[in-house]
Structure 1
Amino acid sequence: MTTLSNVRKLALFSAATTITSLIPLSAATWTNNVTGTYDWTDAANWDTDPAPGVTGSAAGEVANISPSAVAQNLDITVNLGSNLPVSTGNLRFDAGQGATASTVVNVNSGGVLNANNAGNTLLSINEGGSNNSGAVARLNVNTGGSVEAGQIRLARDDGTSTLSINGGSFNMTGGGQFEMRSDRGADAIAVFQMNAGTFTSGGNRSILMRTYDSQILLSGTADFDGQNLTALKDVGIAGSSALIELTGSNIAKADFKAIDAFGVDGVSSTFTLGFVADAAGVSAINSIGELDLVGNATQDDAVLNLDLTAYTGGAGTITLASYGTLVGTFGSINVIGGAGTIDYGSGTGDSITFTVIPEPTTYAALFGMVGLALGAIRRRKSGKQ
């Protein structure tokens, strides 16, 4: 007997079958090697045979997007705007082999991508797709989109590898590290950026900033909850740099478990904390545990960059960083568009602040205004006599 309940069950089963039939459930590689914009869930774009070196099990690479195995400058954009109804294995997004090849994956509103069927499933961006300095591989988690993965790896190869959260949510479960790799030379750039949305992390892990040019860029209303992540400049390439930069005064959260400027002795490199003020000031970074600014035998102490060009708040004190404990001081301080003094606090459960002092030209303007006012008063008085 067909009941309303049975009809509903049949409809739900049919819908689920239709959706999953479009989605590679085992290892799958991108096959549409033509520049263009594509829908993730279109099965015509995928070869569902196991990727090379992968068994095809659910724990393998469910998605391996590398637009071409030969050198050609393809620009591939892949959009996901629906919920993939399965938890997947590893996700690999590579730029391709052309000198200026690019792969951009957009997880848009309604898009849900969960690489979490094992604790250490990983998201990798540019881990074998290109050795060209002009190549780009990028994952955008846009407003209404959601991604989850056990661990993150960027920039095994040259070119620019970017994970960008633009209003969506990203949860790193903590099955592995957040690693900006150091396999290549001076043409490798790894960027993690947020201008809105949320980032959370489990486990007791680190952001290993090893790439020649490693960047963590927070701005807008970004909510970065890295309370389980220690950020550090790890062993890398000679001349490499690591930058953590906060732009604007509206960042909701910029928390790290700890910040260790140089976690391991290595070749000469730099670690910089940067702050770019808006009219109201800056957002403070929070190192819940230790904030270590000390260099070592081959590396100078950490650098502070403070850009006050847009700041209109006048004289006053702005907080740059709070910490559980502080080790060392900045080796150099670069202030743009302003002047002032720095206070490192007590060293325990305190903060680093910067007191803005008006530039001499500001003083001159103020004195000039006072002089004009006094002149006006004198003229009024002389007029009464």
Structure 2
Amino acid sequence: MTFLPADQRELFLPLIDGIHENPPWSAFMRNLVARTYARRAFMLIQLANAPADHEPTVLHIAAPRAAHEPPLEFRQIFGLGLHPFGRLRPERVYSLDEMLDHDRPGQRARQRAVLDEIGVRYGRWLRIAAPGAADAWLVLVREREDFTASAVSTLSAIAPHFAAALRTFCALVAQRLQTALAQASLEHIGVGQLAFDAAGRVMAADPQAEKRLGFSAEPDVALGRRLQLSPETSRQLEACCAELARAPAGSTATLPINDHRDLWLLLRKAELALEGPHAPPAAIGTLRMNHRENSRAAIDAIAAIHGLSKQEAALAHALSMGESIVEAGQRLHLTPETARNYSKRIYAKTGARGQVDLVRMILSGLAPFC
């Protein structure tokens, strides 16, 4: 099949761009419906490690002439007992007739009757697989006449390209999960991070930093953004980033970034292990906001890790929050003597050499992430 410029513009490029859409491949599906003269269509994406009760991603598309019709109900179609979708050979185009149960005439008649009722007289099925990561199914239907050979040829031609796009999409899903894991942990302990170039421009910022700080675009948007700071602080930030770009590994700098001096930015020379083509940052900036964990969850974690009773764990957690033994005891309805006895039992069970060592153990453990 000869690929025309229109194929690249309407099908192949949207396959590449579509991995960034939400839901993915919306433009591609609209163009595919138009190109094949389908009446209605749906695409279903099922990630391999999704839980059984997790809804798959389903994209419904209708031609303008069918815009008033209800979308295809994929559960109803899947429930007809057609040829098992998971056994379709990847990248092969199946006709509706091939999907019917020809071994049982009664079942075939029932399938045909239901499909006729929902306006599915002709159809094409295409399964795309990313082994171990995801499966995707395309279903295109028509009502009055079958698909042309050209339409089927188009589906066959795009199949391997769609498979490549699905593999890329799955890799992005995995990377997004990794990013979300890191961001969730940082958010639990009140940390925000930014990446700066040698001129102090912001190359990237996580949600915590975006939420807390103000940004302004450079006159040349391609150059990125800068933090909205006082002129003097901006000069200090630029100087620190320029110095860290030339500094040896492990170098750091610290500066306040607001007038109240209650929010500080720790800058360290960037030493990220980034693979492939990339623009390496000069410095990584870290913010620490006044944020503490969920007390109840933290107490449960402390009790489980150190073998403490809930009351002992509550006292240990209170000490990590900066309360004295007497203050914590009063809040927990303990007499000063009982609180001191509890603290001795806590030190014995945890192996802490005193209150300071106990606080160190708690703050360097899992409790802050609760």
Report TM bin, short chain.
under 0.3
Of structures 1 and 2, the one with the larger relative CO (CA 8 A, separation 6+) is: 2
TM-score with structure 2 length normalisation? 0.20
Which structure has greater helix proportion? 2
Which structure has greater strand proportion? 1
